[in-house]
Structure 1
Amino acid sequence: MFGFFFFILFTPGVSEFLCMSSDLEMSYTFCDATAYAFAFNLTPCSIMNTSVWKTSLTWIPRSDITFLKVVFQVWYEGAKALHWKEILCSGADDEYSVCGTLKGETFATDFRIKGARIKFPKGNYDVLLEGFSDDSENNMIICLNFTMIVKQDPF
């Protein structure tokens, strides 16, 4: 039984359901044909009156993380709302704990996301998160497509 669950969790194209509440639904899929050992959790599953979300992340990278560039894109109701790029790991004076993780090594962390600054209007959001091991964005090491459905306005 555990083997079947492990297969489903890490099979590309299979949607991983994160949470569902009266005001929010979240899930993610891998957006390329490569399977990842990856898990993400978010609590509480709500955007109403939530100032901080607690998250946990577990990932087993397929290559050493000496350089990591993330590209984060958000679409709201089909229109691009945000495009952000950041180099998280460069190999020198890195401040993020994922930096230096070795291929096959389990990276696990808990962190908080402050949400009081963000008011998400009701609607459908698609969030694309890509990670690259080079600055030219040729060597993708992870790709996730999050779907977020906000069921009511937080105003």
Structure 2
Amino acid sequence: MTKAPVSSFYELAPLDKKGEPFPFKKLEGKVVLIVNVASKCGFTPQYQELQELYKRYHDKGLEIIGFPCNQFGKQEPGTAEEIGQFCQLNYGVTFPIMKKVHVNGPDADPVFEFLKAEKAGVLGFKGIKWNFEKFLVDKHGQVHDRYSSLTKPANLDHTVEKLINR
């Protein structure tokens, strides 16, 4: 079965951790940071900076959405419930964590297929290289930028603020 191409960020409706659709249509007018996350990764402490960014800008129009992924080093082995508890207990995460997904390959979630098509990585590489890769989407559903796992969420502060105030 071939996946129908998506022409707008707001057409996407991934599943939340309970398996319910989370329509991106409700994100219109917000700046959105999408991150593929993992609980047992060297970059896992980025959850703390993500939460700080979320607390600082959520009321001004930022939404952060985490998508657990087990494709890189099997660093996200838990169930949706275990992942949610881990994020809450260890990092106080209050932003939405979705259902575990694939970000590369034939089973890649449509969200990541769309994001990768809109913004290639370094040297035009389309695939996701590792956990905690980030996509920043503006208030109009346009992918503003893509950041590697090495980019700390705190380094996005200025750009997030600029996009919110546009």
* Category of TM-score, reference length = shorter chain: under 0.3
Higher strand share: 1
Higher helix share: 2
TM-score by length of 1: 0.28
TM-score by length of 2: 0.26
